[in-house]
Amino acid sequence: MSAAAGPSQGGAAIDTEPRQRRTAVTPSPGEGGGGSVGEIETPYEIPESELHPSLVVRALLWTLGSIALLLGIIGIFLPGLPTTPFVLVAAACYARASEPFYRRLIADPTFGPLIIEWRRHHSIPFRIKVIAISLMSLTICVSIWTLSAIPWLQGLLAFIGVATAAMLWRIPSRDHQTAQDRRDAAG
C-alpha cells in the first residue's frame, strides 16, 4: 500500500485495501487443470495516481473524467455507445486530477478490476470482451430492426457495431490463449 492511502480531503475514509474474492476453482501452476475449491485470491494492488501540479489542469481533467464516466454509464443502456473506453478515460483523468475520485473508481467492484488490468497490462479480460461484444451486437440488432424505415441509419449502426467489435477484439487478453499460442506450446 502507499502512504497516500487513507482519509480523503473531505475527511471521509475510502477503503483502499485490496479486496478479496472467492474463486470457484483455482488451478495450481503445473497441474493439469486441477485445483482446489474455495481458495481466496487477492487481486492487484491499486496502481498509484500522479496528480498534475497545476490546479487549473486538474480541474479540467476532473471535468473531462466526470463527463467520460457519465458517458460510460449511459453506454451501459444506450446501444452503440461503448462503456469500457469511457471508464478507462475517466480513470486516466481522475488519476491525474483527484486522488479520492480515482481511488473510489478503482475500488468499484464492477469497474475497478477492469481499470487495474488495463493500467497494469494494457489488456481486457476475455470474458469482458465476449460479454461486451455480445451485448453490443444484441442492442445494435434491435436498434437496426427498430429503425427499419431509415436504411442509412441502419447502415451507420451496423458499421459502428462492426468497427467497435473489431477494435475491442484486437485488444489482448492475458487470460485467453490464442490459436497461435496453442500451436507454439504444442510444437
Q: What pLDDT does 180 receive?
A: 65
Q: Distance between CA 138 and CA 161 in Å, rounded?
A: 10
Does residue 26 contact residue 70 with C-beta atoms inside 8 Å? no
Question: Which element (helix H / strand E) includes 152?
Answer: helix 151-170
Query: What three-state secondary structure class fits 7?
Result: strand
The sign of the dihedral angle between the CA atoms of 112, 173, 85, 151 is negative
Neighbouring C-beta atoms of residue 24, cutoff 10 Å? 8
Distance CA 1, CA 48 (A): 9
Residues in the chain: 187
d(C-alpha 87, C-alpha 101), whole Å: 12
Contact assessment for residue 140 and residue 158, using Cβ atoms and an 8 Å cutoff: yes
Q: What is the pLDDT of residue 187?
A: 66
- The pLDDT tens digits for 141-161 are 988 899 888 999 999 989 988
Low-confidence ranges of the chain (pLDDT < 70): 1-49, 79-80, 178-182, 187
Backbone angles phi, psi at 97, to 5 degrees: -115, -40
pLDDT at 2: 42
What are the structural domain ranges in the chain?
A: 47-123, 124-172
pTM given for the model: 0.58
Q: What is the pLDDT of residues 95-104, one digit of tens each?
A: 999 999 999 9
| Closest to 91 in 3D by CA, of 77, 75, 103 | 103
